[in-house]
Structure 1
Amino acid sequence: MRHVLVTGGSSGIGLAVAGLLVERGDRVSLIARDEERLAEAVLFLSQGDEARAGRIFTISADVGDGEVTARAVAHATARFGPADALVASAGIVEPGRFLEQDAAAFDRQIAINLTGVANSARAVLPDMRAKGRGRVLIVSSGAGLIGIPGYSAYCASKFALRGLAAALRAEMAPAGISVSICFPPDTLTPQFERELPLRPPEAQAMMGRVKPREAAIVARAIVAGMDRGRREIHFGLTLRLLGYFGPFAASYLDLRNAWPRRD
């Protein structure tokens, strides 16, 4: 049985990924901020089965705080042993035009979406390196491939994750640790429901033409890609073009206003 640590595992994509892992027999530690949602996640994942519940550990922590994250991972390690894999799924999005959004909201998204991933990786990688194996999966977004009006902080944080993943991959490969990153489109999650009413009209014009995906479908692709050690996991032709051809594809697709994006 593997021990997989999932940040942001109390809802959305993180919870859907955790469900697949528990289903196949992995031990799963969920780290998220909301204790009530974590308790609900255990009930959902265990389905009343005591054996399943025994393979789930939860702890409340803000991944934007490095010391708090390190302590949370230490508690999970004490319960199930060092993590064999990390799924860094914790993230927030607060739409708002750059000059209209206060600096605190901008900084909050950078702290959770980017620094939170770095904090989580820093907490698990030493044990993985000592074992000579491990997997890290970073959840970015389609917004990590294209700039979207009203999403300056979110895009900045998700773009940066690609560079972080590439650097970590180069550093960790000699230690037998694989680093993957995925770029999901709009996905039906509680966060998506909260975000949609705040989305600027010009952003909706770009993104609203693509039907959001079910979290379970996104999660299956993520787990399959991580298991195969794929460097990058894309969803659909548009995001695949953006991922492989970058600015050239972005310029071409911009004319067609086809911009799926998600956390």
Structure 2
Amino acid sequence: MHIIITGGSSGIGAAIAEIEMQRGARVSIVARREEPLRELRAQILAQYPSGQINTWAADVTDAVALERAIEAFEKSFGPCDRLIAAAGVVEPGELISQDMESFRAQIETNLFGTVNAVRAVYSGMVQRQSGQIVIISSGAGLIGIHGYTAYCASKHALAGFAETLRQEAKPNAIAVSICFPPDTETQQLAAELPLRSPAASAIIGDAKPWPADRVARIIVKGADRGRFEIYPGLQMALLGRFGAVVAPVLRWYFDLKIATVRKNQDH
């Protein structure tokens, strides 16, 4: 089985790569930076010396470069059986203060980077009438969070993309899954937290971030079972299943938290 992972040099993508290598899959990873890819490859091969792993440095927002990488992967390891679209970026900031470059970068990477990856493997899957596409969204794709205007927009867009793609892909025997992870222990989260607004922290609460390998195991298990929606943890599952029903209550609660934070800041 050939697994292609975007954004796989760290975090959830890297954890999925390790799981798939352990299971004997051929794994190809594309990410922006060469050095982390080289380090991850050496680390995985140290654990699984006979494993088959390819890496390629490319930005998912560059459709041509990404397609070139995936062509090279498929030439080496055969057609893509499962795509894990895990590349993503987040930079908190309110709409009024965040510059458009940062806003656009999050949309480009999180939404169009995923679309570019899917398009690079989709035609081949249609021709073969087989394959699986797994899209990594976020809990922020289920609700709005203060100070995450761009990020929430991009992750909500992925939910709509996946929902429609599932309808188009199913007649071609292609499975589509989308996962909504909670806060996960990654380098990206460590960089994000200092930028998180007090209002966002009040909304999100003190929930402890999940280990990346735990989230990765749930994603792989859900993909193996062919689930469309994959929810790590009860909170994400409840938001996913009943979010529309409880939305008025959540909005009231979030507004109350934001008002309390603002009141405290004024004093």
Where on the TM-score scale, by shorter chain, does this alignment land: which range?
over 0.9
Could you tell me how far 1:253 is from its partner in structure 2?
3.9
2:173 — aligned with what? Answer: 176
Would you say the 8 A contact 2:21–2:48 is kept in 1?
no
Q: Deviations over 1:157-184 (max 9, x none)?
A: 0000011101111011011100000000
Distance 2:237 2:247 in 1: 11
1:261 — aligned with what? Answer: none
Could you tell me how far 1:37 is from its partner in structure 2?
0.4
Could you tell me how far 1:251 is from its partner in structure 2?
3.0
2:153 — aligned with what? Answer: 156
Partner SS state of residue 166, structure 1? helix
Partner SS state of residue 47, structure 1? helix
Partner SS state of residue 83, structure 2? strand
1:15-94 equivalent positions in 2, closer than 5 A = 15-47=14-46, 49-52=48-51, 55-94=52-91
Distance 2:252 2:19 in 1: 38
1:218 — aligned with what? Answer: 215
Q: For 2:111, which of 110, 114, 129 is the aligned residue?
A: 114
Distance 1:201 1:174 in 2: 46
Q: Between Structure 1 and Structure 2, whose CA radius of gyration is higher? A: 2
Distance 1:240 1:251 in 2: 18
Partner SS state of residue 163, structure 1? helix
Would you say the 8 A contact 1:241–1:249 is kept in 2?
no
1:237 — aligned with what? Answer: 234
Which ranges in structure 1 are unaligned for 5 or more consecutive residues? 258-263
Could you tell me how far 1:62 is from its partner in structure 2?
0.6
The residue type equivalent to 1:21 in the other structure is E
Q: Identity over the aligned pairs, expressed in percent?
A: 50
Q: Deviations over 1:83-133 (max 9, x none)?
A: 001000000001111110000000000000000000000000111111111
1:197 — aligned with what? Answer: 194
Distance 1:61 1:117 in 2: 13
The residue type equivalent to 2:149 in the other structure is S
1:8 — aligned with what? Answer: 7
Could you tell me how far 1:248 is from its partner in structure 2?
2.4
Number of residue pairs matched by the alignment: 254
Q: What CA RMSD, in Å, does the superposition of the two structures yield over aligned residues?
A: 1.2
Partner SS state of residue 172, structure 1? helix
The residue type equivalent to 1:169 in the other structure is R
Could you tell me how far 1:254 is from its partner in structure 2?
4.8
Which ranges in structure 2 are unaligned for 5 or more consecutive residues? 255-267
Distance 1:254 1:213 in 2: 25
Partner SS state of residue 125, structure 1? helix
Could you tell me how far 1:49 is from its partner in structure 2?
4.1
The residue type equivalent to 2:172 in the other structure is A
Would you say the 8 A contact 1:132–1:177 is kept in 2?
yes
- TM-score, normalising length from structure 2? 0.92
Distance 2:107 2:94 in 1: 16
